[in-house]
Amino acid sequence: MIELFYWEGCPSHPEAKSLIEQILAELGRDDEIVMTEVTSDEEAERLRFPGSPTICVDGRDVDPVGANSRPALTCRIYHLPDGRVSPIPSRDQLEAALR
């Protein structure tokens, strides 16, 4: 199962969803992406939501290190393998999680 948790105030979730869809198409898969909007700080705490977008495959965050960030209604920062930061995970992170 692919879950995309997002906060409407963060503009990065459509780009993340699009990248997931591209990778799934390249892999010849038609998995459903379950979208869950996080709407309050209380919900962020309950879901352990470290920011938007958060992507989980079979219940595991695609970025386990970032998953430990403090839960909050905020935009998430992904630390890419090359040292850059990004508002969405890298293609490599997503491909590895989806394989």
Q: How far apart are CA 69 and CA 54, in angstroms?
A: 11
Tell me: pLDDT of 57 over 90.
Answer: yes
> CA angle at residue 22 from 62 to 93, to 5 degrees?
25
- Average pLDDT value for residue range 3-24: 96
pLDDT at 82 over 90: no
Domain covering 2-98 in this structure, CATH number: 3.40.30
Output the CA–CA distances (angstroms, integers) from residue 91 to 43, 80, 87, in the order listed: 28, 10, 12
In this prediction, residue 2 carries a pLDDT of 97
Domain ranges for the chain, please list them.
2-98
Band of the pLDDT at 39, cuts 50, 70, 90? very high
Average pLDDT, the chain: 94
pLDDT at position 79: 87
* pLDDT (mean) for 67-80: 93
